Amino acid sequence: MNFSKLQKLKRGDKVAILSPSFAGPAVWPHVYELGLSRLRDDFGLIPVEYSATKKLGASKEERTADLISAFSDKEIKAVISTIGGDDQITYIKNLPTEPFKNNPKPFFGYSDNTHFAQFLWNLGIPSFYGGSILTQYAMQGEMDSFTVKYLNKALFEGGRTALESSDYYSDKSPDWNDIKTLNIKRDRVPNVGWIWDDGRDAKGILWGGCLESIDEILRHGLSIPALEQFENIVLMVETSEELPTAENVYRVFRALGERGVLGRIKGLLVGRPKSWYFNSQKNQEEIDIHQKEQREAIIKAIREYNKEICIVQNMDFGHTDPQIPMPMGSEVEIDVKNKKIFVNF
């Protein structure tokens, strides 16, 4: 598993803003513009919008053309997704490889963008699982300082970094249809920190993403790392606003176990599960129960196939905030004794 060494950005660089999945900027332009203003003002980067970025219902061909154009343009130093979606499974597998392989650069996106991150992985190109325009950059009121810290690591600084756990988190999504919500900070609740199910220390390459997307990849028979590669992989997963039940989460992990994946991985990192959405507006007690049931389902599934690896849950990546853009395709180290996790940005 040889991965490209990506160049870090500097202030004043141009970055492509794309919608490889859902064109959220067409529906919530005020949220999009807030995110762009933060990118310019707080990070000193120059956003470059492409033809399908704000085009609702853009075809697969149009989105393919944007991805190819952004990676091929030498002036573009990184590519940032606007938001996720639900249909990358239908076209990412058909992308030509040469434009990306010949022009590796950082890509930021999560959720449905798991599919494109996996495509890049197959080409030996690292990516960052997190940091989308409408979600992290356009955070209501102001950006989370925790998120900003790790975005700076991913964009500009790099290096081996000891991850930290946030003191708080936010799960409840704002109503973007109401422009006034952009000025109202989200409610935050105390975070209990990482939850460890101890095993052996681990060092490996980070791979994974949204569990629902991984499930789709498995269902459609698309490429995932080879079994021998999983012997050097630390798996990372998290669940989305679809709020899968603990039983469904267990079944996806069982599928990974039956494929021989779980018995080979070096360790498992799990993002805090999204537990509230508009069609399931749980109170805090119900949120706590949802999170606990998912944690227990994951441990049950893993231990049926691997009793030795360390499992760390309730981490700050995925569909809740604040968020760490996890460096997929880079080395991660789990120090069980000292309860430390190190990644290379």
What are the chain's domains?
A: 14-138 (3.40.50.10740), 162-344 (3.50.30.60)
Q: Around 196, how many Cα atoms within 13 Å sit in the side-chain half-sphere?
A: 15
* Per-residue pLDDT, 1: 80
C-beta of residue 270 within 8 angstroms of C-beta of residue 249: no
Residue of 256, 213, 185, 21 whose CA lies nearest to 118: 213
Distance CA 76, CA 72 (A): 8
User: What pLDDT is recorded for position 195?
Assistant: 98
pLDDT along the chain (345 residues), means of 10: 95 98 98 98 98 98 98 98 98 98 98 98 98 98 98 98 98 93 94 97 98 97 95 98 98 98 98 97 97 98 98 98 98 98 98
Q: Which of 126, 150, 112, 143 is nearest to 39 (CA)?
A: 143
- Which residue's structure tokens are 């994946």? 261
**Beta-ladder partners of 287:** none
Residue 260's CB is within 10 A of a number of other CB atoms, namely 11
Q: For residues 277-314, b (16+ Cβ closer than 10 Å) or e, as one string?
A: beeeebeeeebeebbebbbebbbebbeebbeebbbbbb
Does the reported pTM lie above 0.85?
A: yes
What pLDDT shows up at residue 151?
98
Between CA 296 and CA 302 the distance in angstroms is 10
| CA distance linking residue 209 with residue 318, whole number of Å | 8
CA dihedral 60, 61, 63, 65 (to 10 degrees): 160
Give the tokens for residue 306.
Answer: 């691997």
Give the pLDDT of residue 33: 98
Burial class (CB within 10 angstroms; exposed 0-12, middle 13-18, buried 19+) of 252:
buried
Distance CA 28, CA 48 (A): 18
